[in-house]
Structure 1
Amino acid sequence: MDALPRHYDAFGLLFGVRNYAGFEPVSPGRGLPEDASTELLDLRLADSEHGHTWVAWPQLARIDWSAQAPRVDDRIHEYKLTSKGPRFIGKAGHHGRAWRAVAGEHADPRGSSYPEGTEWRAADRMWRVERLSHGDVLRADPLLRALLDTMRDLAERYGDDNVRLAVWFDS
Structure 2
Amino acid sequence: MGTDIYGAIEVRDLIGAAALDGPLDADPHNEAPWVRCMDLYPLYPGGDYQPLGCLFGIRNWNGWEPVAEGRGLPADVSEAVRKEYEHDAEIDRAIGGSTWVSWSELRALDMSVTPLARGVLEINENGSSLYHCYRVEDEWPADVVAEYGQPMVGESPITAAYGSWQHGATTLTYKRVTRNDVLGTGTGWDHVFAIMRSLAKRFGEEGVRLVVWFD
Root-mean-square deviation (CA, aligned residues, Å) is: 3.3
Q: Does 1:16 align with 2:61?
A: no
Q: Does 1:91 align with 2:132?
A: yes
Letter in 1 for 2:59: R
Letter in 1 for 2:69: P
Q: Following TM superposition, by how much is the alpha carbon of 1:36 offset from its aligned partner in structure 2, in angstroms? A: 0.3
Structure 1, residues 137-158: CA drift from partner, whole Å, max 9, x if none?
Answer: 12341x2111111001111110
Q: Does 1:146 align with 2:146?
A: no
Matched-pair contact (CA < 8 Å) for 2:40–2:192: no
Matched-pair contact (CA < 8 Å) for 1:54–1:164: yes
Listed as ranges, the gaps of 5+ residues in structure 1 are 105-112
2:148 to 93, 102, 105: 102
Secondary structure of 2:212 counterpart: strand
Aligned counterpart, 1:110: none
Distance 2:144 2:65 in 1: 32
Q: Following TM superposition, by how much is the alpha carbon of 1:12 offset from its aligned partner in structure 2, in angstroms? A: 1.0
Secondary structure of 2:54 counterpart: helix
TM-score relative to the length of structure 2 = 0.60
TM alignment of 1:16-95, pairs within 5 A: 16-43=57-84, 44=87, 45=89, 46-73=92-119, 76-79=121-124, 90-93=131-134
Distance 1:40 1:88 in 2: 34
Query: In 2 relative to 1, CA 24–71 (structure 1 residues): closer, same or farther, beyond 3 Å?
Result: same
Distance 1:89 1:59 in 2: 31
Distance 2:129 2:213 in 1: 30
Listed as ranges, the gaps of 5+ residues in structure 2 are 1-38, 135-140, 151-155
TM-score relative to the length of structure 1 = 0.73
Q: Percent identity?
A: 29
Letter in 1 for 2:101: V
Aligned counterpart, 2:32: none
How many aligned positions are there? 155
Larger radius of gyration: 2
Matched-pair contact (CA < 8 Å) for 1:103–1:120: no
Distance 1:7 1:81 in 2: 20
Letter in 1 for 2:180: G
Distance 1:140 1:9 in 2: 14
- When structure 1 is superposed on structure 2, of 32-41 and 20-29 the one drifting more is 20-29
Matched-pair contact (CA < 8 Å) for 2:200–2:208: yes
Matched-pair contact (CA < 8 Å) for 1:99–1:120: no
Aligned counterpart, 2:213: 168
Q: Following TM superposition, by how much is the alpha carbon of 1:33 offset from its aligned partner in structure 2, in angstroms? A: 0.5
